[in-house]
Amino acid sequence: MKTLKFLVSVVALCALTVSCTKEGKYGPKKQISKITHTYSYKSEYWDGNSWVVAEEYNGDDGNEVWNWKGKQLESIDYYHEGQLSYTEYFTYEKNRLASINYGGSDHYEFIYEKGKITSIEVYNGSEREAVYAITHEGGKITKIAYTPFGSQSTETHPLPSCVLDLGLPVQKGLNGLNGPKATAYEYEFEWSGKNVKHCTYRSANYIEERFFTYDKMLNPLCGLWEIDGLDFQMMVSKNNVSRVEIHSDNSISIMDYSYSYQGDVPTVATGTSTSSSATERVSYSTSTIYDYE
């Protein structure tokens, strides 16, 4: 299944949806037609006299072609090295997102109550494999709890952030065909206006916190619920992330983002991160290029 990528996406996108549009409805100001991803990496070491490059490379991280029918996003084609890897399909009921599938038996169903998404059910054919239970406070999503079902379920923690492996008790009414597994993942968000300012991940032996700052421009993904292949930070909240500060294991790492804009939407987003010591330093960057209809 695409569960690992879906976990990455749903954390970020559940957080942003309530701040941008009605839940389950994605209506961007400009429709994306294509997204291209690239990256670069360089590591160096100090030989006593100068910095020496140990490893350096650039790469194509794939691209996406977005297919629209009027104002609704119908599907996204994902390409890697010029070849179509798979297609993600979106279906709607009453003009709001009802399900996501990948052309096979794996799919996700969205459950609503009073206009809010209360859960997302993960299916393999007719068997429910997992549920994302969603908590709202003050009209905003503050928690997402992930519970896998069945003895055959093999879902694992896919994120370095914002997923909690707590072994929480399963909520009443969420039992699957083969019964729930003991482990649940949980995501927690703190908001500042229409942006998530703080995201926390905890487990029995690990905790990580992410602190976000933003520019004042519009995030073109705001309101979309699921998309593969994009960086977690790029999909959070109404505005575009300018810095992410990650605290974990008594260390701090920082990712900075810069943008080129056409009007009020980004055409290029660049993320850069550098870490260094007296004898080693590493730099990493990502580039996301947006084309619009």
pLDDT tens string, the chain, 293 residues long: the values are 444 344 434 434 443 444 566 788 888 889 999 999 999 999 999 999 999 999 999 988 899 999 999 999 999 999 998 999 999 999 999 889 999 998 788 889 999 999 998 998 989 888 998 888 888 998 888 877 778 886 443 333 333 232 222 232 223 333 334 444 544 567 788 999 989 899 887 666 777 888 999 999 988 888 787 644 334 444 558 899 999 998 887 788 899 999 999 998 999 999 999 888 889 999 999 999 999 99
Task: Please state whether 220 falls in left (phi above 0), alpha (psi between -120 and 50) or beta.
Answer: alpha
What is the C-alpha separation between 153 and 140, in angstroms, rounded?
A: 30
Task: Please state whether 249 falls in left (phi above 0), alpha (psi between -120 and 50) or beta.
Answer: left
User: Are 90 and 97 a contacting pair, CB within 8 Å?
Assistant: yes
* DSSP H stretches of helix in the chain: 3-20
DSSP string over 132-155: EEEEEETTEEEEEEEEEBSTT---
- Under DSSP, the state recorded for 168 is P
What is the C-alpha separation between 26 and 29, in angstroms, rounded?
A: 10
- Under DSSP, the state recorded for 230 is S
Report field, pTM of the whole predicted structure over 0.75 = yes
Q: Which domains does the chain have, with CATH numbers?
A: 3-292 (2.40.160.190)
What is the C-alpha separation between 218 and 220, in angstroms, rounded?
A: 6
